[in-house]
Amino acid sequence: MSTAQQILVVYGALSVGFGMTLGIPLTRARMNSATAPRHLVVAHLSALIQGALYFGVAFGIGLSALTQWLDTIAAVLLVSGSALFVAGATANWRQGIGDHFAERSLGYRLLAASGGPHLAGALLLIAGTVSGAWSSSS
């Protein structure tokens, strides 16, 4: 297993664990109300979805035609973007933020910061994986 794959698998496991942990306050909120805080729901679901996604991405990056150091950079960028996203949603929930766009909260800044690493990592991953899969099928 490459370094990039290890990074993706470890983050995936941590993300699933964090998402499941957020299920505890989410359950408590739902026991007392028909709705739960929106940012808590976003943090919970995004952590779970990202965790599962990164297990698949770890497999996909194995097809990459990029050098191992570029694959590792892609993995670090993706994981960084995802961690910032979940941290932003969690911060918004913990601070009781309503509209993070209007309030320009810490969570808003973390969510906004997640875009660049996500996009750069995804582009590297897509380029490497598609070119690797394409060249191996020829």
Q: Which two tokens stand for residue 138?
A: 């020829």
CA atoms within 13 A on the CB side of 62: 11
In this prediction, residue 138 carries a pLDDT of 58
The total of structural domains in the chain comes to 1
Q: Is residue 137 part of a domain?
A: no
User: Across the 138 residues of the chain, what is the mean pLDDT of every consecutive 10-residue run?
Assistant: 97 98 97 95 98 95 94 98 98 96 96 98 95 77
Q: Is residue 109 part of a domain?
A: yes
Q: Is residue 88 part of a domain?
A: yes
In this prediction, residue 135 carries a pLDDT of 81
Find the domain containing 86 and state its range. 3-132
Angle at the Cα of 52 from the Cα atoms of 44 and 12, rounded to 5 degrees: 85
Residue 71 parent element (H or E): helix 68-94
Q: Is residue 138 part of a domain?
A: no
Nearest by Cα to 110 from 77, 80, 76, 72: 80
